[in-house]
């Protein structure tokens, strides 16, 4: 897939997601137990999740591969460092030498599926960590759910727990893996497969946001074994 600097569908999706404050805060709550020390967010977009780290006064740097998002983030969060960062840069070690071994947590939410060489992306994230630091990765689950949304957002793939864990290097220590957002499966399928939309409507996101407390309970009841996304956490030895 060809990289697009102007990401119309992606930005419209992020703007729709900005109306899902309860969902975004839920996602943040999942990362928070690992959010100590110096943090780097990969693929910050327009800052839908970033703002919760900043509100909690976490030591976080933001990043994105697109200049347009980097500019927006700098305007929205003028007191935070915002980096332009390409996880699969052909000369990663030299380009980001100043970041190697810097962070206690590097997390990427809905980023790795956009990268053809996902294993290299994880290897390079590992380089950015200090010993004892954590990698937190969230990606879309189940290839059978791949639809118009995925195509519009330039996703190479969706994952299972097994396929996600396979891309992590053996020198990392596995911490945990779980599924996230069971209820989201139905909305994703109905809007993307049945109605053939390629952008999440804001009205749907507002309704989903209203129902998020119920959906959080559902994840607990099914023991986080099924969900629209899958999460993996590893630790650098």
Task: Please report which confidence band the pLDDT of residue 33 belongs to, taking 50, 70 and 90 as the band edges.
Answer: very high
Mean pLDDT within 25-41: 98
- H-helix or E-strand containing 8? helix 8-17
Q: Is the pLDDT of residue 174 over 70?
A: yes
What is the Cα–Cα distance from 120 to 127, expressed in whole angstroms? 11
Q: Is the pLDDT of residue 3 over 90?
A: no
Buried b (16+ CB within 10 A) or exposed e, 198-229: bbbeeebbeebbeebeebbeebeeeebebbbb
Tokens of 119: 């294993």
* DSSP E strands, 141-224: 172-180
What is the Cα–Cα distance from 193 to 53, expressed in whole angstroms? 34
pLDDT above 90: percentage of residues in the chain: 86
Residue 95: strand, helix, or coil: helix
What is the Cα–Cα distance from 207 to 17, expressed in whole angstroms? 12
Kindly report the average pLDDT of the chain as a whole number: 95
What is the Cα–Cα distance from 168 to 126, expressed in whole angstroms? 9
- In angstroms, the Cα distances linking 76 to 16, 57, 67 are 17, 15, 14
Give the per-residue pLDDT at 197. 84
Give the per-residue pLDDT at 7. 80
Burial zone of 60 (CB within 10 Å; 0-12 exposed, 13-18 middle, 19+ buried): buried
Q: Is the pLDDT of residue 2 over 70?
A: no
Give the per-residue pLDDT at 110. 97
Tokens of 222: 């099914």
Q: Which residues pair with 139 in a beta bridge?
A: 230
Give the per-residue pLDDT at 98. 97
- Write down the residue that tokens 């650098």 correspond to: 236
Give the per-residue pLDDT at 139. 98
Task: Please report which confidence band the pLDDT of residue 207 belongs to, taking 50, 70 and 90 as the band edges.
Answer: very high
Shortest CA distance to 21 belongs to which of 212, 187, 181, 174? 212
140, 229 in Cβ contact below 8 A?
yes
Superfamily of domain covering 8-236: Vaccinia Virus protein VP39 (3.40.50.150)
> What is the Rg, in whole angstroms, of the alpha carbon atoms belonging to the chain?
17
């Amino acid at each position: 897939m060809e990289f697009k600097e102007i990401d119309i569908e992606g930005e419209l999706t992020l703007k729709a997601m900005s109306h899902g404050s309860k969902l975004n805060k839920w996602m943040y709550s999942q990362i928070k137990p690992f959010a100590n020390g110096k943090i780097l967010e990969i693929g910050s977009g327009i800052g839908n999740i970033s703002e919760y780290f900043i509100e909690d006064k976490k030591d976080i740097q933001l990043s994105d591969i697109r200049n347009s998002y980097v500019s927006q983030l700098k305007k929205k969060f003028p007191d935070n460092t915002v980096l332009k960062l390409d996880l699969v840069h052909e000369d990663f070690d030299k380009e980001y030498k100043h970041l190697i071994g810097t962070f206690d947590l590097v997390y990427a939410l809905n980023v790795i599926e956009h990268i053809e060489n996902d294993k290299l992306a994880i290897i390079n994230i590992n380089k950015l960590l200090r010993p004892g630091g954590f990698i937190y990765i969230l990606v879309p689950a189940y290839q059978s759910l791949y639809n118009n949304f995925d195509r519009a957002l330039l996703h190479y793939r969706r994952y299972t727990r097994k396929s996600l864990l396979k891309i992590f290097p053996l020198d990392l220590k596995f911490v945990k893996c779980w599924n996230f957002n069971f209820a989201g499966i139905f909305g994703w399928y109905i809007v993307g497969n049945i109605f053939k939309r390629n952008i999440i409507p804001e009205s749907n996101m507002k309704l989903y946001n209203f129902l998020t407390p119920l959906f959080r309970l559902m994840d607990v009841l099914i023991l986080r074994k099924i969900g629209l996304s899958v999460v993996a956490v590893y630790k650098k030895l």
